[in-house]
Amino acid sequence: MKILVTGGLGFIGSHTVVELQNEGFEVVIIDDLSNSSENVLDGIEAITGKRPIFEKMDLREKSKVQDFFKKHHDLEGVIHFAASKAVGESVEKPLLYYENNLGVLVYLLQELSKMDKANFIFSSSCTVYGQADSLPITEDAPVKPAESPYGNTKQIGEEIIRDTCHVNSQLSAIALRYFNPIGAHPSVEIGELPIGVPQNLVPFITQTAVGLREQLSVFGDDYPTEDGTCIRDYIHVVDVAKAHVVALQRLLGQKNDSNFEVFNLGTGKGSSVLEVIHSFERVSGEKLNYKIVDRRPGDVIQAYADTTNANNVLGWKAASTLDDSMKSAWDWEQKVRN
């Protein structure tokens, strides 16, 4: 069974390719290498013993997308990761984000609409919930006004898919709303490779510990939480990757309840910034240099998933602990720097 993975050389994409290949799927990757590298193919091959087919392509080139689908008329599913994901950059370059994240989505759905039967998995985000009114966050919690063009592309992206599924019963789609994916493959053959200064907490922690950054700034300790720092649902990237395979199998087996479904991907457990730091210190044996600074604009206080639907309907459950995730992130960082 041939599956297209767009953005398959990126952080979550590459881990998903590994899990797909482990389950016997044939994978074709499209990636423009804007935030990844061809070396990731070596890592995937080292883990799975198989090198996926790779096409370097900018999906904004509509005619190339059309040609690709003509050539690969036997696709059984598409998992769409390719997107721009830096929140701050999206504020500076909104049209780039709308073109990359929504223009491309439309082109893919246009091609999928031509097929007799099409299965589509979309990378969505817990960012659609904003600061939820109640915790843990269920999938039917209201979608809040987006804080950034990036967040907006995830909200509108889901709407575009929902509207398309509404008129195309041959198209089935699942949107997976990720909480905070972290960590790396336990083999340390693949992991996260942020370009420049990391905006996300965990790569900033590991880069600080390895000496690349001087100090971690903890953004605020005066939030209404137990230790005053923000709370997130950090989930191991391998767990996230496995959820994509389960979601795909749900569509292939026609076990879906409707042709557009949404699931949260989280552990169900919230951890504060200080808890993440302490977990890191525990598994690494390193002391982290950090200081408390002002709050970061736009941060929600708390977000963690209600995983009931993911567990009982999708039939998937996160297996790794925060310590497992932090250990793998640290092993990966050390490998990359050495």
Give the residues lining the site for ligand WQD (CB under 6 A). Answer: 87, 125, 127, 178, 180, 199-201, 204, 216-219, 230, 232, 273, 296, 299
3-state secondary structure of 277: helix
- Whose Cβ is closer to ligand WQD: residue 170's or residue 200's? 200
Residues 6+ apart with CB under 8 A from 261: 173, 174, 175
Burial of 64 (0-12, 13-18, 19+ CB in 10 A): middle
Under the phi-then-psi rule, with left for phi > 0, alpha for psi from -120 to 50, and beta for the rest, what region is 298? left
Least distance to ligand WQD, CB of residue 87, Å: 4
Distance (Å, whole) CA 90 – CA 333: 27
State the minimum distance, in angstroms, from the CB of residue 277 to ligand WQD.
9
CB of 333 to ligand WQD, least distance (A): 15
CB of 271 to ligand WQD, least distance (A): 9
H or E segment and range at residue 322: helix 322-337
Q: Is 27 helix (H, G, I), strand (E, B) or coil?
A: strand
**C-beta of 298: minimal distance to ligand WQD in Å?**
8
- Choose the catalytic residue: 150, 178, 223, 234: 150
The residue (of 1 and 87) whose beta carbon lies closer to ligand WQD is: 87
Any catalytic annotation for residue 150? yes
Distance CA 257, CA 260 (A): 8
Nearer to ligand WQD, 201 or 322 (CB): 201
- Environment class of 211 (CB within 10 Å of its CB; exposed 0-12, middle 13-18, buried 19+): exposed
Cα angle: 230, vertex 234, 236; to 5 degrees: 165
Active site residues: 150
